[in-house]
Structure 1
Amino acid sequence: MAKQVAKGSGEAKKDEVQLILKNRKLRHDYEVIDTYEAGLVLAGSEVKSLRNGDVQWADAHARFDDRDGLLWLYGLHIGEYRQANNFGHKPLQPRRLLLNRSELDKLRGKMTTKGLTLVPDQLHFRRGWAKLVICLASGKDKGDRRRDLMTREAKRDVEREVARRAKQR
């Protein structure tokens, strides 16, 4: 017998994801190889600004720092929280990403390949914690984009033809 969960209880909201920002151009500009979900080290005013939706990532990317070997996110603009007065944050400061040591080692090994980069895919809250989905990706050139467009169009034409033939029967 399945466990009944009350509508307003906390258990129903346990794995609920509150999406803040999504990178819609990612799969258009990059060929995604692997994805990871990382935590973010944030100040209180940054969390408040995220919840208000005051965030942009025009040129955001992640990379390993040579000094400490940790993964950092650069280019993420989190607007200042107005009520934070003197205890605010810098909008464009680098932010540390939290991953397991094994994931960090695996990523560091893959990043040695030329042409790969870490690009943010989506920013969301899960169980009250800010999470960032980052993708290990390689940039697409013009030919790759055209090839993707042609395969999409061919797939659409096939589906259209199948639907037309099914309708004739």
Structure 2
Amino acid sequence: MVKKKQAGPGVLATNNKARYNYAIGETFEAGLALTGTEIKSVRAGQITIADGFVQIRNGEAWLDNVNIAWFPQGNQFNHEPLRSRRLLLHQSEITRLAKASSVAGVTIVPLKVYIKRGFAKVLIGLGTGKHSYDKRETIKKRDQERELRRSVKR
């Protein structure tokens, strides 16, 4: 049986696909505005951020295409799994993100979701798309590090 890799204390979801497809520059920590059943599902680890992205609309940051599963005991009060969720950021951070994302080829992607002092937080980053040769370099570097860890372990 394959063991699950631990991402760290309190980390509920990570987006490994983002680091592979994008060169991540600056990162920001944002709060998530969630409903009651959503936060219960997030705390249970029922969140998928692999296809998520952030958009700036009307001076607010919105997290789109992130799936938070239904809470089993939520019955008729359950939430919609793929709805847009507002990110809680300072206005200066939102304007910096808006300026950066207006440049062609720059995307705002969620990197990980975690609980900090009882609140759900998401780490978002400014990513520029990688070319296929950059992705091959990433794979090569990862394989070399894996071989080095194996040799040290022996």
- TM-score, normalised on structure 2? 0.82
Distance 1:19 1:149, change over 3 A: closer
Give distance in 2, aligned partners of 1:141 and 1:111: 19
Equivalent residue in structure 2 for 1:48, among 33, 40, 52: 40
Deviation readout 1:133-164 (Å, 9 max, x if unpaired): 011001111021233445x38x76xx89xx9x
CA contact (8 A) 2:16 2:50 kept: no
1:2-52: CA deviation from partner (whole Å, max 9, x where unpaired): xxxxxxxxxxxxxx9511001122221110111000000000100001111
Which secondary structure does the structure 2 equivalent of 1:25 belong to?
A: helix
The aligned amino acid for 1:18 is G
Amino acid of the residue matched to residue 45 of structure 2?
G
Displacement of 1:107 after TM fit? 1.0
Q: Give the one of 70, 74, 82 matched to 1:92.
A: 82
1:5 maps to none
Q: Does residue 121 of the first structure (1) align with residue 111 of the second (2)?
A: yes
Q: Where does residue 142 of structure 1 map in the other structure?
A: 132
Equivalent positions of 1:16-55 (< 5 A) are 17-55=9-47
Amino acid at match of 1:30: Y
Q: Which residue of 2 aligns with 1:110?
A: 100
- Tell me the equivalent position of 2:5: none
Percent of matched pairs sharing the same residue: 36
How far is the alpha carbon of 1:85 from its aligned partner? 1.6
Contact 1:17 1:127 in 2 (8 A): no
Q: Which structure 1 residue ranges, 4+ long, deviate > 6 Å from structure 2? A: none
**What secondary structure, in the 3-state scheme, does the structure 2 residue paired with 1:42 have?**
coil
Normalization by structure 1: what TM-score? 0.76
Shift of 1:58: 3.4
The count of residues paired between Structure 1 and Structure 2 equals 141
- Higher Cα radius of gyration: 1
| DSSP-derived class of the 1:32 partner | strand
- Gap regions ≥5 residues in structure 1: 1-15, 164-169
* AA at the equivalent of 1:123: V
Given that residues 29 and 123 in structure 2 are in contact (C-alpha distance below 8 angstroms), is that contact kept between their aligned partners in structure 1? yes
Partners of 2:61 and 2:87 within 8 A in 1:
yes
